[in-house]
Structures are given as structure tokens and as C-alpha cells.
């Protein structure tokens, strides 16, 4: 049986190669994602291990928030804490250090250099991984700084140049005294940009407190054990401190730098999920057709003594071998893909040293289970059908065609699942319950895949009417509906991809429309000052510049804005704060239903108040990233507005507890008759000292908001591209198998006068109808589910429904192109059949 299986597999190489390609793509994406992740993770870990190899322990103050993202504003340590650490037995040395995110050098173009979110300000120290001078000298006066080599190379600055630096305080001017390297490399890690001050200046600008430190680095005495000393230091300091070993510190820092890896890995795994999901249907279809074509062969094996189990094992063995080959090829491609992506991420600006391939056991095991396991499982049903072929079938002149009509049980199951999905969707929409909503989407999706054979013939018959006037086209149409299950299984591969993208596009377009509509209708500001960059410290707007803008004759009011992560009565969320609450209330349309905004307490929108079970007059406990907890009254509740849908705290509280006491954005309302386009240049000139922000008119802001979501829609289109590629493989595969299955039939058609062009037209018609059927089903399903999700996400800010009709038409046109491309090879093969050989084909 093994030899017979191998001969059968080798005799039908083309039939199974195309089936394996979808699995190859899925394995490649999974293997690539995991290889990229492990390669860059190793690079990050190696870099940070080197950085902290001289640090035995590090002491920091506990963050006010347990899982604070506010690392840019650490709680300062005083000199007394340093002395307490020095007094612990086993400590060789303890030195206070200043190293805090938030220092941004201003380049020659007046902007903060791009390419990194890691921007640090630190104090010069001769200890603890002291930088090595490449040029110049260490900063000696309050007017001098040093910068790391990568930042110098990026900006073109050299010792002696005068530069501006932004910190947690407004811009200040310094002279570059030196350029440094870390551990002999031009950069540290993750494209870091570092500005080094004298210690007093670093304490003032980065911590806001003279004589303070962000951490204490501890050197171990001879023979001291880091773990034991960690316990002793913790006991000596008491509560309110965190003590970590150098290795723990390196691991924490490496983990914090891997956020980009998670995003890229998730994206690649998303592509893999689409490829595998479509590939399952392709494998099932391919093996079903192959089994049907081998009916007489399998029956003869049964007649010669093969048992049902042996026949079933034979088909499964073919699937295992196909999956094994797909895994080998896909894993190899994935290794290459992962290494290439890792190289792109770790470019020359990143400071990461990426060597060869770093292959994890997880990548190999997961990709193996995916390649071999999925293929084998997909072939299980066809294998079961093969084992049921009776020996008597070997005596028939032609292979009996199995009943290909949709099964009653299958239809009933599909209808039941569809009803369950509809009920869950209705519940999700009515109650805005996301679990019910997404469960309904899943049930509806599966139900459609099960029911699709039931409506294959009627839908294809309708689609075929405009194109079946010629005999060749009519024959192509009849071939498309001859085997509804086969046609449905082929169309499902395209339906899945199109449905996913149509649904996601509907949600994203609705989100885009809601966001732009919100800005257009709810925000009355004529000009907006928005931030351009992201990082561990938000961009800032100079308070002095805002005061100058307020003094302009054409300006009616200005509201500076900042946001911060914090806790309200133990609930973690982002907080808002305005430097002019009255101006903000008018600009963002706050209509108070309870109380007012008098500047002495917190205000919030109705939905937030309902969620937190608060009302005007209640007291809240507020904890921000810096400082101690505050107790504030709730002075007002206003109608829901998407522009300001959080808890808003007084500006005085924000200055004490936020990372910086400066606004990160601002909105400007002009006087009647003033032109935004004419005032804009004046505002821009006043903001010359705030290089991380940009002035936009209302029209510009609407376009910016829309373009940001448009980028997400572009990623969604890439998913469609993957689905389309696999769909082409699926249609090509089924057409090749169909041509082989109908060899004698095609030979008879040629013998009675059908020319080669008609043969191609017949195959092309069949291919186009299958592709169009799959795309149309996907468009309808995806749009319906997308609309349902939008309706259920009203509470998440999606208030407007926008169906991307143009994109949906493009998807259908793309399906026609896919059908035409998929028919090129099989159509040419059918046209080139030799008549006599085809008639004699068995």
C-alpha cells in the first residue's frame, strides 16, 4: 500500500502542488513572524545585557501607579536614600544616577529628529557604563551638553555647535561639548537619542528637583550574592522602593522595547490566519476531486484485498507527505522572510546588532503542526469517502459521480447556526455587548460557509445570464453548476478573504467618517495645534507662546490641552486637563446637565459618569503618574461629546501630577470675520520654539484624522491581496483537476468541431463565474456583518455608518480579473489536448 500510495502521489504531482501552495504561504507567514520575533528579541536582550552588565542592583522609587506607563516621570530619590543603600552590608558602592526619558534635541531644520521614540536626558557620570568620548569633552558647565554619536550623525551637529533642547521644561539653549559612544558602538539600542547634561542641570530639567536622582546603581562587594543582597537592600529601605538585579533590569528594559515586535508579529500572523483558513478549503476540495477521479483505482485496490482502513491511510499518507513538503518549503521561506523583516526593523538607525538566523523551537513546532497537521485534518473527510468506495465500482465503465447535491443535514446545521448568529448579533447591537456581537459574527460566518452549496446553483445561474449567449460560454456555465459542492468549496476560498476585508473596510470607513464628522461638527476651533511625533514623552506647546497667541487681535480664545494615564477611584483610564476650562467648554461643546466647570474640581461626560457611577457633588480619589493621591469634588457633568469623553481634572492638578506641566495640543477660536488661513502664519511664527507641533486649519485637521485611519484601511487591502493570491491558486487548482477529470469529454467536444478559442472561452467562463460568485458572497456577507459591528460599537465612538461602495465594486471587478487570470493555464491546457489521445484517455 505504501508503494502504491507513493506511485499515485508521484503520478499526480501537479494536482497536489497547487493545493500545497496555500499551506506554504501560511507556514511562511507563521515561521517568518516567529523567526523575526526571536531574532530581534535576542538582539534586544543582548544589547541590554551589555548595557547593565556592570550594575549589580538598581534601586528606584515605586511608581504611584502599579503598572504605570509613566516611566518618563519617575519619583525622585534623595541623597539620604543613597546613603541608606551604601550602609547595607555587602554593598561595595552606591551612586545616584539621573537618566530619564524626555530630552529632545532640535535639529538644524528646526524639528526634533525622527526615527526613534527612545529620547533620554541623563547626567554625566564616570561610573556605571560611562560613555566614551568620540569627540570633544564631557559637559563641565550648566551651558554644555554631550550627545550620543548616532544623534550627532543624524543631525550633523559637532562640538562647539549651539543647539536647542526640549525637556520636561520649555526649550533651552546649550553648546555641544562632546560626542559619545556606548560600548564602542555609535548608538545604544532602538535608535536611542541621548542628551547628557551636568548633574545639577539634569536634576533640574529632567526631575524638577535639585539633589534628586532617578535611580541608585549598586555595586556588589567581593563574593556578594545579588539575590541575597537584593533582599537586604529591600529590607533596609522599607516600603516605597523597588530593587532589581542587573539581569532583571536588562530583561525589563528589553521587554519594554519590544512593542514594535508585537505589532509586526501580529500583522504577519494575521496574514497567516487568512492563508491557512483559505488553504483548508482548498485542500479539502483538491483531495475530494482527486478521490472522485480515483474511484475505479481505489475500488480495484479494494477488490484486490485492501481494507477500508488501508485505503483511508493511503489518502491520509498522501496528505501527510504533501503537508511535509509544504512545511519544509514554507519554513525555509519563513526563515528568509523573518530575517529580512528583522534586518529592516534593525536598520542602521536602530543600534541593534542582528546576526544570523535565530530560530526558536516554537517556530519549528508551530509551523510543523500548521503545515502537516492542517493538511492532514483537511484531508480527513475525503479520506473517509475514499474508504467507502465499494469494490464493485472497479467494474464500471466510468467512475460513478457521487451525489454532489447539498446535504439536508448540512443545510439544517447551517440554518441553525445562522439563526444563532442572527440572535447574537441582535443582542450585541441592542445591548452593545461586544462578546455577543463578535460571537454572532463568528456564527454567521461559519453558517454561510456551510450553507453556500445550497445557493450555488441559483446565484451562479443569475450571474451567468449576461455572459452565456455563446455555446462555449454556456458550456462553461453548465460546468460551474455541475458540482455545486465543488464550486462552493472553490468559491469559499475567495469569499473568506473578501468578506473579511469588506467587513473590516466597512468598520474602518465608518470609524473614519465618525472621527472626521466629530471634528467637523463638535469642534468649533478654527485652528488646531497638534503634535507630530510620538515617544515616551508627549510633544509640548510652549505656555509662553500660547499667551502670545491669546494676545493676537484676531484670536477670541485658546485652550491648551494635555492627557495623562491615571486612576479614578481605582479605575485606570486617561485623564484630560485644559489650561483654560471655560474656553475649552465652548470650543469642544460642553453642555452641562449637572453643575459646571468652575476650575476647582473634576468634570466629565455623561457616559463616563454613568460608567464610574458618579454625579456632581461626589468626591473622587485621583492618582496620577507623579505625586500623591488627590481627593477632588465632581463639579459638573456634561452631555456626551467625542472630542472630550474622559474625566477632566483642573490644570493645577495636571501640572503637579502629569509628566510635564506644559500642554501637548491646543485649540484656537478666532473672532468673527477673522480668516484662519491669514492668522495661521502668525501663529506658526510664535510656535517656532515648539518644533514638535503643527498648526492646522479645521479642513487640514479633518484630512489628518481621515488619513490616519486610511493607513489602517491600506493594511486591510493587503489582507485582500493575500486572499486573492490564494484564491487564484484555488481556482487554478480546481480547473486543472476539472480539465483532467473531463479529458475524454473535452476530446469529444474537439472532435465535433469546437475550436481552441472556444475551449479557452469555456474554461474562462467557468473560472470567472466561480470567482465572481465567491466575491459576491463575500461582499454581501462582509458588508452585512460590518454594518452589524458598526451598529454595536456606538458606545465606542463609531457614530456614523459609511459603507465603502466604491471599494466593494473594486473587489467585484478584481474577482473578474482573478477568474480570468486563473483560467489562463487550465484554458491553454484544455485547448492543447490532442483529440485522439483525449478520446482514448482513461
Identify the pLDDT of residue 143. Answer: 94
What average pLDDT score do residues 324-353 get? 73
- Give dist(CA 771, CA 789) in Å, integer: 26
pLDDT one-digit tens code per residue, 444-457: 888 888 888 888 88
Identify the pLDDT of residue 396. Answer: 54
* E strand or H helix that includes residue 739: helix 698-741
pLDDT one-digit tens code per residue, 664-687: 889 999 999 899 999 999 999 998
834-837 own/partner pairs: CB under 8 Å, 24+ apart: 834/747, 835/747, 835/750, 835/751, 836/747, 837/747
Q: Among all chains, which residue has been given the C-alpha cell 543582597?
A: 229
pLDDT class of 746 with cuts at 50, 70, 90: confident
Q: What is the DSSP string of 515-545?
A: HHHHHHHH---SEEEEE---SSS-----HHH
For residue 603, give the nearest of 554, 646, 539, 661 by alpha carbon. Answer: 646
Sheet of 241-245, strand order:
91-97, 215-220, 57-61, 241-245
The answer on pLDDT for 85 being more than 80 is yes
pLDDT class of 398 with cuts at 50, 70, 90: very low
> With the CA atoms of 650, 652, 656 and 659 taken in that order, what torsion angle do they form, in degrees rounded to the nearest 10?
60
Backbone angles phi, psi at 65, to 5 degrees: -100, 135
pLDDT one-digit tens code per residue, 115-169: 666 788 999 987 766 788 889 999 999 999 999 988 898 899 999 999 999 987 8
SS3 for 643? Answer: helix
* E strand or H helix that includes residue 75: none
The answer on pLDDT for 480 being more than 90 is no
More confident residue, 362 or 686: 686
pTM, two decimal places: 0.69
Task: Give me the percent of the chain exceeding a pLDDT of 90.
Answer: 16
pLDDT one-digit tens code per residue, 86-114: 888 888 888 899 988 888 899 998 888 87
The answer on pLDDT for 728 being more than 90 is no
Identify the pLDDT of residue 419. Answer: 93
pLDDT one-digit tens code per residue, 496-542: 878 888 888 888 888 878 777 777 777 788 899 988 665 566 788 88
pLDDT one-digit tens code per residue, 747-795: 787 777 788 888 888 888 888 888 889 889 989 998 999 899 888 887 6
What average pLDDT score do residues 631-635 get? 93
More confident residue, 52 or 509: 509
Identify the pLDDT of residue 193. Answer: 86
Contact 426, 418 (CB under 8 A): no
Highest mean pLDDT among 29-33, 143-147, 822-826: 143-147
Contact 621, 568 (CB under 8 A): yes
Contact 220, 56 (CB under 8 A): yes
pLDDT one-digit tens code per residue, 747-757: 787 777 788 88
pLDDT one-digit tens code per residue, 247-287: 787 777 666 566 556 766 776 677 677 667 766 766 776 67
The answer on pLDDT for 201 being more than 90 is yes
The answer on pLDDT for 395 being more than 60 is no
Identify the pLDDT of residue 669. Answer: 92
213 DSSP 8-state letter: B
Which residues are bridge partners to 595 per DSSP?
636
- Give dist(CA 834, CA 832) in Å, integer: 6
Contact 157, 237 (CB under 8 A): no
Q: Nine-digit cell at 74?
A: 519617575
- Give dist(CA 573, CA 645) in Å, integer: 11
130 DSSP 8-state letter: P
Contact 101, 109 (CB under 8 A): no
- Give dist(CA 219, CA 52) in Å, integer: 11
pLDDT one-digit tens code per residue, 295-337: 667 777 777 777 888 877 887 887 788 888 888 888 888 888 7
- Give dist(CA 448, CA 456) in Å, integer: 12
What average pLDDT score do residues 343-359 get? 60
Cα atoms found within 13 Å of the Cα of residue 26, Cβ hemisphere only: 30
Using alpha carbons, list the distances in angstroms from residue 699 to 519, 523, 528, 680. Answer: 9, 12, 10, 13
Q: Among all chains, which residue has been given the C-alpha cell 448540512?
A: 410
Q: Where are the alpha helices (DSSP H) in 294-407?
A: 295-303, 308-345, 361-368, 374-378, 380-387
pLDDT class of 719 with cuts at 50, 70, 90: low
Backbone angles phi, psi at 667, to 5 degrees: -120, 140
Identify the pLDDT of residue 70. Answer: 43
Identify the pLDDT of residue 184. Answer: 47
Identify the pLDDT of residue 69. Answer: 41
Average of per-residue pLDDT values in the chain? 80
The answer on pLDDT for 829 being more than 90 is no
Identify the pLDDT of residue 404. Answer: 55
The answer on pLDDT for 558 being more than 90 is yes
More confident residue, 730 or 572: 572
pLDDT one-digit tens code per residue, 53-75: 777 888 988 877 755 444 455 77
- Give dist(CA 471, CA 456) in Å, integer: 22
- Give dist(CA 545, CA 189) in Å, integer: 35
- What angle (nearest 5°) sits at the alpha carbon of residue 79, between those of residues 77 and 81? 60
Q: Which of 156-165, 343-352, 491-500, 687-696 has the least mean pLDDT?
A: 343-352
More confident residue, 417 or 75: 417
For residue 642, give the nearest of 514, 460, 501 by alpha carbon. Answer: 514
The answer on pLDDT for 412 being more than 50 is yes
Amino acid at each position: 500500500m505504501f508503494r502504491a500510495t507513493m506511485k499515485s502521489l508521484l503520478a499526480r504531482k501537479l494536482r497536489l502542488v497547487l493545493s500545497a501552495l496555500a499551506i506554504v504561504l501560511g507556514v511562511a507567514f507563521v515561521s517568518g513572524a516567529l523567526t523575526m520575533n526571536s531574532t530581534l528579541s535576542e538582539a534586544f536582550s543582548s544589547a541590554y545585557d551589555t548595557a547593565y552588565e556592570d550594575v549589580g542592583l538598581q534601586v528606584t522609587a515605586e511608581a504611584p501607579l502599579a503598572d504605570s506607563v509613566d516611566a518618563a516621570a519617575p519619583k525622585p530619590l534623595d541623597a539620604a536614600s543613597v546613603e541608606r543603600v551604601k550602609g547595607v552590608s555587602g554593598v561595595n558602592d552606591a551612586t545616584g544616577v539621573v537618566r530619564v526619558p524626555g530630552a529632545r534635541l532640535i535639529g538644524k531644520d528646526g524639528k526634533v529628529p525622527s526615527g526613534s521614540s527612545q529620547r533620554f536626558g541623563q547626567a554625566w557620570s564616570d561610573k556605571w557604563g560611562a560613555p566614551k568620548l568620540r569627540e570633544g569633552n564631557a559637559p563641565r558647565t550648566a551651558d554644555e551638553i554631550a550627545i550620543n554619536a548616532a544623534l550627532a550623525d543624524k543631525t550633523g551637529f559637532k562640538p562647539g555647535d549651539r543647539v536647542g533642547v526640549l525637556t520636561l521644561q520649555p526649550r533651552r539653549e546649550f553648546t555641544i561639548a562632546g560626542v559619545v559612544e556606548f560600548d564602542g558602538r555609535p548608538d545604544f539600542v532602538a535608535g536611542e537619542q541621548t542628551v547628557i547634561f551636568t548633574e545639577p542641570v539634569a536634576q533640574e530639567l529632567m526631575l524638577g528637583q535639585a539633589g534628586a536622582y532617578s535611580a541608585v546603581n549598586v555595586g556588589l562587594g567581593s563574593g556578594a550574592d545579588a539575590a541575597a543582597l537584593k533582599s537586604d537592600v529591600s529590607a533596609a529601605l522599607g516600603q516605597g522602593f523597588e530593587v532589581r538585579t542587573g539581569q532583571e533590569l536588562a530583561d525589563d528594559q528589553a521587554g519594554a522595547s519590544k512593542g514594535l515586535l508585537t505589532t509586526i508579529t501580529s500583522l504577519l500572523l494575521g496574514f497567516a490566519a487568512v492563508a491557512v483558513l483559505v488553504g483548508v478549503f482548498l485542500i479539502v476540495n483538491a483531495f475530494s476531486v482527486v478521490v472522485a477521479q480515483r474511484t475505479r483505482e481505489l475500488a480495484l485496490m479494494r477488490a484486490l484485498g485492501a481494507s477500508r482502513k488501508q485505503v483511508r491511510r493511503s489518502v491520509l499518507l498522501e496528505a501527510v507527505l504533501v503537508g511535509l513538503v509544504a512545511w519544509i518549503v514554507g519554513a525555509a521561506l519563513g526563515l528568509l522572510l523573518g530575517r529580512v523583516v528583522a534586518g529592516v526593523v534593525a536598520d542602521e538607525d536602530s543600534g541593534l546588532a542582528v546576526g544570523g538566523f535565530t530560530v526558536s523551537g516554537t517556530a519549528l513546532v508551530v509551523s510543523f503542526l500548521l503545515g502537516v497537521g492542517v493538511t492532514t485534518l483537511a484531508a480527513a473527510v475525503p479520506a473517509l469517502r475514499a474508504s467507502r468506495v465499494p469494490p464493485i465500482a472497479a467494474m464500471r465503465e466510468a467512475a460513478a459521480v457521487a451525489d454532489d447535491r447539498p446535504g439536508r443535514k448540512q443545510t439544517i446545521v447551517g440554518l441553525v447556526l445562522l439563526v444563532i448568529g442572527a440572535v447574537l448579533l441582535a443582542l450585541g447591537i441592542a445591548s452593545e455587548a461586544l462578546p455577543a456581537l463578535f460571537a454572532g459574527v463568528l456564527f454567521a460566518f461559519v453558517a454561510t460557509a456551510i450553507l453556500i452549496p445550497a445557493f450555488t446553483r441559483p446565484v451562479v445561474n443569475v450571474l451567468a445570464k449576461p455572459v452565456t449567449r455563446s455555446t462555449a460560454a454556456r458550456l462553461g456555465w453548465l460546468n460551474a453548476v455541475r458540482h455545486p459542492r465543488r464550486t462552493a468549496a472553490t468559491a469559499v476560498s475567495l469569499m473568506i478573504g473578501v468578506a473579511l476585508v469588506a467587513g473590516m473596510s466597512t468598520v474602518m470607513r465608518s470609524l473614519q467618517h465618525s472621527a472626521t464628522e466629530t471634528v467637523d461638527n463638535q469642534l468649533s476651533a478654527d485652528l488646531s495645534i497638534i503634535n507630530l511625533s510620538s515617544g515616551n514623552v508627549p510633544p509640548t506647546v510652549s505656555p509662553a507662546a500660547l499667551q502670545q497667541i491669546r494676545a493676537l487681535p484676531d484670536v477670541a480664545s485658546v485652550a491648551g490641552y494635555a492627557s495623562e494615564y491615571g486612576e479614578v477611584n481605582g479605575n485606570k483610564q486617561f485623564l484630560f486637563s485644559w489650561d483654560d476650562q471655560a474656553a475649552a467648554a465652548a470650543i469642544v461643546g460642553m453642555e452641562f446637565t449637572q453643575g459646571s466647570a468652575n476650575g476647582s474640581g473634576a468634570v466629565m461626560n455623561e457616559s463616563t459618569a454613568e460608567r464610574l457611577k458618579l454625579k456632581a457633588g461626589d468626591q473622587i480619589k485621583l492618582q496620577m503618574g507623579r505625586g500623591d493621591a488627590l481627593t477632588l469634588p465632581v463639579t459638573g457633568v456634561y452631555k456626551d461629546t467625542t472630542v472630550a469623553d474622559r474625566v477632566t481634572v483642573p490644570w493645577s492638578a495636571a501640572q503637579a501630577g502629569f509628566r510635564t506641566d506644559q500642554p501637548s495640543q491646543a485649540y484656537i477660536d478666532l473672532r468673527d470675520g477673522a480668516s484662519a488661513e491669514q492668522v495661521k502664519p502668525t501663529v506658526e511664527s510664535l510656535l517656532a520654539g515648539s518644533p514638535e507641533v503643527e498648526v492646522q486649519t479645521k479642513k487640514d485637521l479633518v484630512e489628518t484624522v481621515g488619513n490616519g485611519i486610511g493607513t489602517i484601511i491600506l493594511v486591510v487591502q493587503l489582507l485582500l491581496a493575500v486572499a486573492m493570491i490564494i484564491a487564484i491558486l484555488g481556482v487554478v487548482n480546481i480547473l486543472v483537476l476539472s480539465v483532467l477529470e473531463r479529458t475524454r469529454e473535452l476530446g469529444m467536444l474537439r472532435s465535433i468541431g469546437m475550436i481552441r478559442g472556444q475551449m479557452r472561452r469555456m474554461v474562462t467562463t467557468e473560472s470567472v463565474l466561480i470567482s465572481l460568485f465567491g466575491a459576491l458572497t463575500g461582499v454581501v456577507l462582509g458588508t452585512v456583518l460590518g454594518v452589524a459591528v458598526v451598529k454595536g460599537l456606538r458606545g465606542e465612538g463609531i457614530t456614523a455608518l459609511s459603507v465603502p461602495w466604491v471599494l466593494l465594486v473594486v473587489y467585484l471587478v478584481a474577482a473578474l480579473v482573478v477568474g480570468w487570470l486563473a483560467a489562463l493555464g487550465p484554458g491553454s491546457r484544455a485547448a492543447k489536448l490532442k483529440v485522439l489521445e483525449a478520446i482514448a484517455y482513461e
